[in-house]
Chain A
Amino acid sequence: MLAVTVLSLCIAIVIGVGLYIKASPILHEKSLFNLLGNSHWRPFKGEFGFYPFIMGTLWVTGIAILLSLPVSLLTAIYISEYADKRIRRAVNPMLDILSGIPPVVYGVWGVVVIVPMVADHIAPHFVDFSTGYSVLTGGIVLAIMITPLLISIFDEIFFTVPKELRDASLSLGATQWQTIKFIILRKALPGIVAAVVLAISRAFGETIAVLMVCGNIPIVPKSIFDAGYPLPALIANNYGEMMSMPMYESALMLAALILFVIILFFNAISRVVLIRIEKQFHL
């Protein structure tokens, strides 16, 4: 048993190393800076610029967080502070169900509902033409996917704020909203930040749902109605042709490695941020 445990410690390292080994051919050919900054992706010419994909990922994730955070926060506050027991009991299973729906089903729904919605109803107000397959669509679908996660974590966090604190604030004559605004959110801040970071990690790595709706064109998105091509979609779409061109495989492995490193990075950041916020806000 000891052996299995110790081995499991190594898995994270092994994955990192394994991907690195596979990605090394391309890393030896070109500098990392070149790879990350180059906007051209032409595998058959040997040009592997990851910049569009990184930007695509950032755009989609950014939109998702922007849409999801306020909605999740407000809903979580309502469910945990205002709603009575029956509403809570009804809503929680529904959120569970939402979070359990497989991503591919979200993708299907995104194609059927959101893509036309964006193409026909939203985009015409802003741009001349949009197919509907855009980073906005990807962002919307992702936002709905991460919202139940955020809500349930927020709910748990609010639950940990002690009742005495709420009572103390209410006894001073504060309204419930004031109590939430000044006391509860303050006390819950580290947890909220950690939850957001968790959600960002999930959004970064979500492959199939986004892939189905974001357009898959390797350009740097200039507006939310442009198509995008996030990193996971890149890997997923091209694995079939991987073997056909030199260094294509190692380029895709590099993409996987980049993703892996970003997730690790976020994990580390969230821990540091948690500690700092606790110190700073007198918690």
Chain B
Amino acid sequence: MFLLNDIGRIKSFIKSGIANILPETGKQSRIILNERSFVNGVKHFQMPEKTHISVRDLNLYIQNNHILKNINLDIPDKKITCIIGPSGCGKTTLLKTFNRLFESSADIKISGEVLVDGENIHGNKVEVTHIRKKMGLLSQKPCPLPMSIFDNIAYGCRIHGIRDKKQVKGIVEHYLKAAGLWDEVKDRLNTPAARLSIGQQQRLCLARGLAVEPAIILGDEATSALDPISSKHIEELFVGLKSQYTIVLVTHILRQAYRIADYIIFMYLGEIIEHGPAEKVLNNPQEKLTKEYLAGIFS
């Protein structure tokens, strides 16, 4: 069994980049560290699967407050990754660095890299709208555009230059079906989107996000504002979609992480405390903070 100060000693060993250490746990699981996983001396799981997003030394300051501290992680391709942690720990902020939704604020300073498909999206020459197209964002509060249902989905086509009416119609139908909304709204595509129920609106936002054909879906507490039935709907959709998209979800509902996550990232006060495959982190957390969070000592 690990003792707390043993963990501390081993951590500092690793940080100084000295050795390969094979710690033993009572349960015989091994944490294998090798050279490849020493990036700036920080402990790092080697991804068995393909990585879609890599974050390297990301630091973010809002008005000189250090919000994200030395983030280093890999997000696996075509899996559901859940970022969990207590309120205010920077989960949403981290998510927003993925689609660069911080542009307008002048008080934000970012250093480090976020690599998507190997390309640093925070680089100077990168075209922002191109990045955002790759990422579909589903917010906590469903935000239908002030238009009809049809136009909401077609908006994506409009801004990216797809004008052919037949094509647009096809896209709208396809993605409404993908979001599980088609049957409910097919007769009233031209009515205002604001009249839908909140669960339907969230599915509409999902369809809208899918219609621009992203590679990655980002969800920021996507079911927190919904009733249980709609939440379940959305979760099922995510599970269904992960075969085609990489999904990163921020959630403070631990149960949700237990239900659908393939990969977990636990954050606390702007730092990554622990990350790894879901079964490992949720059932056998290594860090004290993780254990406490999972046990409900703080949330």
Direct A/B contact, Cβ within 8 angstroms:
yes
Across the interface, which residues of B come within 8 angstroms of A175, CB to CB?
A: 129, 159
- What is the total number of residues of chain A having a CB less than 8 Å from a CB of chain B? 22
- Give Cα A162 to B99, complex, Å: 19
| Chain B nearest Cβ from A93, distance in angstroms | 20
Given known A182-B158, A183-B146, contact A174–B129 (CB-CB < 8 A) = yes
Do the beta carbons of A168 and B146 come within 8 Å of each other? no
Residue of A nearest to B107 (CB): A85
Q: Which residues of A contact B133 (CB under 8 A)?
A: 172-173
Q: Could you pull out 17 A-B pairs where Cβ atoms are within 8 angstroms?
A: A85-B106, A162-B143, A164-B139, A167-B137, A168-B137, A169-B145, A171-B101, A172-B132, A172-B159, A172-B208, A173-B132, A173-B156, A173-B212, A183-B146, A186-B146, A282-B192, A282-B194
Q: Which residues from chain A contact B155 at a C-beta distance below 8 Å? A: 169, 172, 174, 182
CB of B148 within 8 Å of the partner chain: yes
Nearest A residue (CB) for B211: A172
Q: Is there contact, CB below 8 Å, between B141 and A173? A: no
Chain A residues near B205 (CB-CB < 8 A) = 168
Does B209 make an interface contact (CB < 8 A)?
yes
Chain A: residues with CB nearer than 8 A to chain B?
84-85, 162, 164-165, 167-175, 178, 182-183, 186-187, 281-283
A178 engages B159 (CB within 8 Å)? yes
Binary CB contact string for chain B from 129 to 140 against chain A (1 if under 8 A, 0 otherwise):
110110111010
**Which of the residues A174, A178, A187 comes within 8 Å of B146, measured between beta carbons?**
A187
Residues of B within 8 A of A187 (CB): 146
Contact B143 A168 (CB under 8 A): yes
CA distance A168 to B145 in the complex (A): 8
Ranked 8 nearest A-B pairs via Cβ: A282-B192, A173-B133, A171-B137, A168-B143, A174-B159, A173-B132, A164-B143, A173-B129
Q: B160 near A: Cβ within 8 Å?
A: yes
Residue of B nearest to A188 (CB): B146
The CA of A175 and the CA of B147, in the complex, are separated in Å by: 18
Which residues of A sit under 8 angstroms from B145, Cβ to Cβ?
A: 165, 168-169, 182-183
Cα distance A283–B147 in the bound complex, in angstroms? 7
Q: Known contacts A281-B146, A282-B148: does B159 contact A170 (CB below 8 Å)?
A: no
Alpha-carbon gap, A178 to B145, bound state (A)? 13
Assess the A172–B146 pair: CB atoms within 8 A. no
Complex CA gap A168/B133 in Å reads: 12
